[in-house]
Amino acid sequence: MEMLIYNFFNLEIMAEAYPLLLRGAGQTLLLCLAVIPLGLLGGLLVALAARTRRRVLRYAVIAFIDLFRAVPPLVLLIFVYAGLPFAGLDISPFAAVCIAFLLNNSAYFAEIFRAGIESIGAGQTEAARSTGLGPLQTMAYGVLPQATRNVLPDLLSNSIEVVKMTSIASVVSFQELLYSADMARSLTYNSSPLVMAAVMYLALLWPVVRILSRMEHRVGQ
């Protein structure tokens, strides 16, 4: 028991590692503030493009969604970070993570937005058009607000998954929370910083999870 506490719950080592982990948590938050809005915007644009009457574009969008939902995010990240320099694009770890997450998250968010748009009955669209609104105005002011409200729990749930997925950014040496914890572990030869990182992830995500659970409960009523 003493060895377990020393190696995983060593408060002295946690205190020493705290400043390093705090900087890592700041980088994780910065990354989330970049990739989640990018994924939402990309997903919305892809979902709207999937509704086009142009068959070639619609098939291209379907192929995009299927491809980037099928490719593991870690493989995609490594491909972007290691592959783009061969195309003459030398990018930072932060930019590589943003690009990889944009491609992956856009595909998932697109499916959520698509489901939300399709949940709105044709009568809503016809009612908006009858007031003189054009197609774009109908989508922007009539359909999208209702569609987003219908799938808001799914959007939040996927955003939580994105936050947890930021831990793979350590593979390309981006100094987020997990990278900082692993660095502290390698310096102290003790796993307590990893446990502390897990607690910080829990503190960051648990309130959001509780809010999401309440929203899902209200929707189910």
pLDDT tens-digit map of 58-102: 899 999 999 999 999 999 999 999 998 888 888 999 999 999 999
Confidence band for 32, pLDDT divided at 50, 70 and 90: very high
CATH number for the domain spanning 209: value is 1.10.3720.10
Range of the structural domain that residue 147 is part of: 2-220
pLDDT digits (tens, 9 = 90+) for 100-154: 999 999 999 999 999 998 888 777 777 777 777 777 787 878 888 888 888 888 8
38-55 confidence digits (pLDDT tens)? 999 999 999 999 888 888
Triad 59, 36, 102: Cα angle to 5° = 40
* CB hemisphere CA count around 216 (13 angstroms): 11
Supply the pTM of this predicted model. 0.87
Label residue 82 exposed, middle or buried (CB < 10 Å: 0-12, 13-18, 19+). Answer: exposed
The pLDDT score that the predictor gives to residue 73 is 93
Q: Which residue has the higher pLDDT, 127 or 20?
A: 20
How confident is the model at residue 51, as a pLDDT?
Answer: 85
The domain total for the chain is 1
Handedness of CA 117, 123, 127, 130 (dihedral sign): positive
170 vs 81: CA distance, rounded Å:
12
